[in-house]
């Protein structure tokens, strides 16, 4: 299993079918620290903009498998400020490393890096476009806590228009059977029509709602609503208040439901919700390490 | 011959692009790189009546037999366009335009934050997802572009 992963890039969730996704999730479940697996391998971590969880979990994953990490976070101390092109930075990194992990503010930058580089490239976020390892860890959390992905009723809540995590997750879920999506957002932050029509229609059953109705859901996937999406501050305050998951709202939850969030959260999940058995977002984030260990071991072919 | 056809002078030799969506002849000229310095005569007719489509545009390029790759780019803006190759005032060949699988450096990605719109100097690259209606996906930022959103680079 997972043979198809050796030496490949991971740029977009759109290029993964069910088999490829399951190969990663299965490997992640079995993953144990083993510093002999990627001994001597080097990961170039090119973070053109800073990130906390993604960068740290990739570095941790590499360390637990015995490999090492070179790279940068933020461009201040690099040749990029001297005007070095992305192409040249990638060309240089591929001569030092066995795999490149890249985060860059421009959409399409990761695909471009993969086209330029001979070695595998993993996209750790290209602007508002894709962040496929986040989606894999979301799926890993769902399968880990609920034992399956097929047949689940999943609520995606908050900013469904600009949020890349919800776009990617919805597209990935279209690979599974019997998925029902409840898309809950204010009218100006609806899931883009192109994703609904071109990528979800006929693959998953979905409904759109404005009110925070959590009844019957197996998974509640919360996202942050950003203030800059609203021209009017009063409108923002009103909407923000309507999409807060507090203890009162959680009374609608089934006992076996789970609450996920890509983090960082601001105030869309009240702190007291952290104590509920359904709150799984910190464990979801912890899954970032085994998922990235699984990916690195599959791609670098260490076994 | 319908009366409208007579408004547009016949050419002796060259290529006639017929059934262009009304109003889009200027885009076709842009795609064919016809502008200042173009050495041949070009006849453009806009909004003439068409039995098939009601209205249409026509472009006639004298003394040039356009190659298939060039012709097929016309499908980006006008998938129903037809091509007639003319010799001695006679149509010697009729062709349909076929949207190519890949379009490189022709269309501007409408996503302003796409790497192809940045100083990184990366030419645009689109994959054809659907020919009718026209739907293209950016190779880099994955933006899905529909017919009405297509913007051709200035020549």
pLDDT at B4 over 60: no
Task: Convert A118-171 into a string of H (helix), E (strand) and C (coil).
Answer: CCCEEEEEECCCECHHHHHHHHHHHHHHHCCCCCCEEEEECCCCCCHHHHHHHH
Q: Catalytic residue at A53?
A: yes
In a 3-state reduction of DSSP, which class is residue B42?
Answer: strand
Instruction: Say what the pLDDT of residue B52 is.
Output: 82
End-to-end CA distance of chain A: 11
Options 1.20.1730.10, 3.40.50.720, 2.30.30.20, 1.10.10.10; CATH of B102-152: 2.30.30.20
Other C-beta atoms lying within 10 Å of the C-beta of residue B154: 7
Higher model confidence: residue B76 or residue A278?
Answer: A278
pLDDT at B69 over 90: no
Written as six digits, the tokens of A61 are 């994953």
Chain B residues closer than 8 Å to A89 by CB: none
Residue with tokens 């601001």: A266
Q: How confident is the model at residue B22 (pLDDT cuts 50, 70, 90)?
A: very high
Residues A106 and A180 in one domain: no
CATH number of B3-96: 3.30.70.140
pLDDT tens per residue across span A201-217 = 999 999 999 999 999 99
CA distance, residue A275 to nearest chain B CA (Å): 39
Q: How confident is the model at residue A302 (pLDDT cuts 50, 70, 90)?
A: low
Mean pLDDT of chain A: 94
Chain A residues closer than 8 Å to B113 by CB: 105-107, 127-128
Q: What is the CA radius of gyration of chain B?
A: 16
Query: Are the CB atoms for A87 and A161 separated by under 8 Å?
Result: no
Q: Which of residues 93-132 of A touch B (CB under 8 A)?
A: 105-109, 111-112, 126-130
pLDDT at A80 over 90: no
Distance separating alpha carbons of residues A8 and A209, to the nearest angstrom: 39
Chain B residues closer than 8 Å to A14 by CB: 142
pLDDT at B55 over 70: yes
Region(s) of chain B under CATH 3.30.70.140: 3-96
pLDDT at A224 over 80: yes
Residues A264 and A154 in one domain: yes
pLDDT at B65 over 80: yes
Q: How many CB pairs under 8 A join A and B?
A: 52
Residues A161 and A257 in one domain: yes
Q: What is the mean pLDDT of residues B40-62?
A: 93
Best mutation target among B104, B111, B122 (most A Cβ atoms within 10 Å) is B122
Other C-beta atoms lying within 10 Å of the C-beta of residue A124: 26
Q: How confident is the model at residue B67 (pLDDT cuts 50, 70, 90)?
A: confident
Residues A264 and A159 in one domain: yes
Residues A248 and A161 in one domain: yes
Instruction: Say what the pLDDT of residue A240 is.
Output: 82
Q: What is the mean pLDDT of residues B43-56?
A: 91
Higher model confidence: residue A302 or residue A154?
Answer: A154
Element (H, E) at A44: strand A42-47
Instruction: Tell me which residue range forms the domain holding A249.
Output: 133-285
Instruction: Say what the pLDDT of residue A109 is.
Output: 98
CATH of the domain at A78: 3.40.50.1370
Q: How confident is the model at residue A222 (pLDDT cuts 50, 70, 90)?
A: very high
Instruction: Say what the pLDDT of residue B51 is.
Output: 86
Residues A292 and A272 in one domain: no
Distance separating alpha carbons of residues B151 and A282, to the nearest angstrom: 44
Instruction: Say what the pLDDT of residue A204 is.
Output: 97
Residues A202 and A169 in one domain: yes
Chain A residues closer than 8 Å to B129 by CB: 198
Number of domains in chain A: 2
Using DSSP bridges, classify how beta strands B144-146 and A205-209 pair: parallel, antiparallel or unpaired. unpaired
Any chain B CB within 8 A of the CB of A45?
Answer: no
Chain B residues closer than 8 Å to A109 by CB: 115, 120, 140
Which residue in A85, A109, A194 is closest to B144 by CB distance?
A194
CA distance, residue A167 to nearest chain B CA (Å): 12
Chain B residues closer than 8 Å to A128 by CB: 113
Which residues of B lie inside 8 Å of A (Cβ-Cβ)?
109, 111, 113-116, 118, 120-122, 129, 135, 138-144
Q: Catalytic residue at A82?
A: yes
Q: ipTM value, please give it.
A: 0.92
CA proximity to A293, closest of A37, A44, A40:
A37
Query: Are the CB atoms for A96 and A73 separated by under 8 Å?
Result: no
Any chain B CB within 8 A of the CB of A86?
Answer: yes
Instruction: Say what the pLDDT of residue A16 is.
Output: 96
Residues A31 and A124 in one domain: yes
From A41, A64, A103, A167, the catalytic residue: A103
Residues A255 and A276 in one domain: yes
pLDDT at B1 over 90: no
Instruction: Say what the pLDDT of residue B94 is.
Output: 94
Query: Are the CB atoms for A21 and A136 separated by under 8 Å?
Result: yes
Instruction: Say what the pLDDT of residue A83 is.
Output: 83
Region(s) of chain B under CATH 2.30.30.20: 102-152
Residues A80 and A188 in one domain: no
- Residue of chain A whose Cα is closest to the Cα of B118: A106
CA distances from A174 to A45, A147, A196, A202, A230 (A): 30, 18, 11, 9, 30
Residues A104 and A191 in one domain: no
CA distances from A220 to A128, A175, A181 (A): 22, 19, 10
CA proximity to B121, closest of A78, A83, A128, A82:
A83
pLDDT tens per residue across span B105-137 = 999 999 999 999 999 999 999 999 999 889 999
pLDDT tens per residue across span A35-47 = 999 999 999 999 9
From A8, A18, A53, A229, the catalytic residue: A53
Written as six digits, the tokens of A109 are 């930058």
Backbone angles phi, psi at A271, to 5 degrees: -55, -30
Any chain B CB within 8 A of the CB of A201?
Answer: no
Q: What is the mean pLDDT of residues B2-15?
A: 76
Residues A120 and A205 in one domain: no
Query: Are the CB atoms for A291 and A133 separated by under 8 Å?
Result: yes
Q: How confident is the model at residue A119 (pLDDT cuts 50, 70, 90)?
A: very high
Distance separating alpha carbons of residues A119 and A155, to the nearest angstrom: 38
Element (H, E) at A56: helix A53-64
């Amino acid at each position: 299993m997972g043979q198809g992963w050796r030496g490949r890039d991971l740029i977009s969730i759109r290029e993964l079918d069910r088999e490829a996704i399951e190969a990663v999730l299965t490997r992640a479940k079995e993953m144990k620290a083993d510093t002999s697996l990627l001994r001597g391998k080097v990961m170039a971590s090119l973070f053109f903009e800073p990130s906390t969880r993604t960068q740290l979990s990739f570095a941790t994953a590499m360390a637990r498998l015995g490999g090492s990490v070179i790279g940068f976070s933020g461009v201040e101390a690099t040749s990029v400020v001297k005007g070095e092109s992305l192409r040249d930075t990638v060309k240089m990194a591929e001569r030092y490393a066995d795999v490149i992990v890249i985060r860059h503010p421009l959409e399409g930058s990761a695909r471009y890096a993969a086209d330029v580089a001979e070695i595998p490239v993993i996209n750790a976020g290209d602007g508002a476009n894709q962040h496929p390892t986040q989606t894999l860890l979301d799926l890993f959390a769902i399968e880990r806590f609920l034992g399956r992905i097929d047949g689940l009723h999943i609520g995606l809540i908050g900013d469904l228009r600009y949020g890349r995590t919800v776009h990617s997750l919805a597209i990935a879920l279209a690979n599974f059977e019997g998925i029902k999506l409840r898309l809950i957002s204010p009218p100006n932050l609806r899931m883009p029509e192109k994703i609904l029509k071109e990528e979800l229609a006929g693959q998953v059953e979905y409904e759109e709602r404005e009110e925070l109705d959590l009844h019957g859901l197996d998974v509640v996937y919360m996202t942050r609503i950003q203030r800059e999406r609203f021209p009017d501050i009063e409108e923002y305050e009103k909407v923000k208040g309507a999409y807060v998951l507090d203890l009162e709202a959680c009374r609608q939850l089934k006992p076996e439901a789970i609450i996920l969030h890509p983090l960082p959260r601001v105030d869309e999940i009240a702190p007291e919700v952290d104590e509920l058995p359904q709150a799984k977002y910190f464990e979801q984030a912890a899954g970032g390490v085994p998922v990235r260990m699984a990916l690195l071991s599959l791609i670098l072919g260490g076994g | 011959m319908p009366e409208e056809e007579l408004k547009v002078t016949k050419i002796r030799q060259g290529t006639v692009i017929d059934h262009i969506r009304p109003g889009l002849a200027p885009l076709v000229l842009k795609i064919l790189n016809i502008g200042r310095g173009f050495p041949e005569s070009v006849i453009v007719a806009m909004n003439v009546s068409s039995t098939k489509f009601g209205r249409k545009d026509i472009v006639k390029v004298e003394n040039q037999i356009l190659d298939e790759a060039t012709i097929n780019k016309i499908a980006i803006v006008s998938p129903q366009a037809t091509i007639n190759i003319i010799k001695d005032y006679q149509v010697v060949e009729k062709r349909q335009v076929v949207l190519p699988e890949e379009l490189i450096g022709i269309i501007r990605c409408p996503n302003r934050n796409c790497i192809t719109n940045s100083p990184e100097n990366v030419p645009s690259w689109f994959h054809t997802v659907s020919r009718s209606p026209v739907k293209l996906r950016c190779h880099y930022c994955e933006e899905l572009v529909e017919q009405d959103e297509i913007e051709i680079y200035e020549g």
